[in-house]
Structure 1
Amino acid sequence: MTSIVRYVKIDVTTAGREGGRDACVCTSIVTGSTLRDLQCSSGPDVWSLGANTLSVCTRALGGISDVAQKETEVRC
């Protein structure tokens, strides 16, 4: 059986961190309203854990705590 594993990656520059303080950065692949592989870190880049999503439509979600949250369009 064929599978497709999708990941999200966020890179956060020093300028992207509010006032130079560490922020919690989270990523996830989303199906419907379900977070499939949520991963959070205060590091400079964050990868989601990966989600096997061959048979469902998905979107990528990323956010920096209390600063911003963005997501892609749905992809099938």
Structure 2
Amino acid sequence: MLAVLMILLSQIQNKQLCVVTCGEDRVIKVWDAVTGANQHTFEGHEAPVYSVCPYVKERIPFIYSAATDGII
């Protein structure tokens, strides 16, 4: 079983409350905080992801992430 390394509560999309998770599976997921439904799955890291940081610029949501191999 792979571990979740970070859970973050944020309003990153249309002021909707979201939960963002990342972990040893190298995947970042965005969940609806009310329903628990998975809204987005982001793949691409080649090492476990230990940190995520939501950011909005000019009303465009971003999620920055960092993995254990130093890749952001």
Compute the TM-score of the two structures, normalised by the length of structure 1: 0.33
Higher relative CO (CA 8 A, sep ≥ 6), structure 1 or 2?
1
Higher Cα radius of gyration: 1
More strand, by proportion = 2
More helix, by proportion = 1
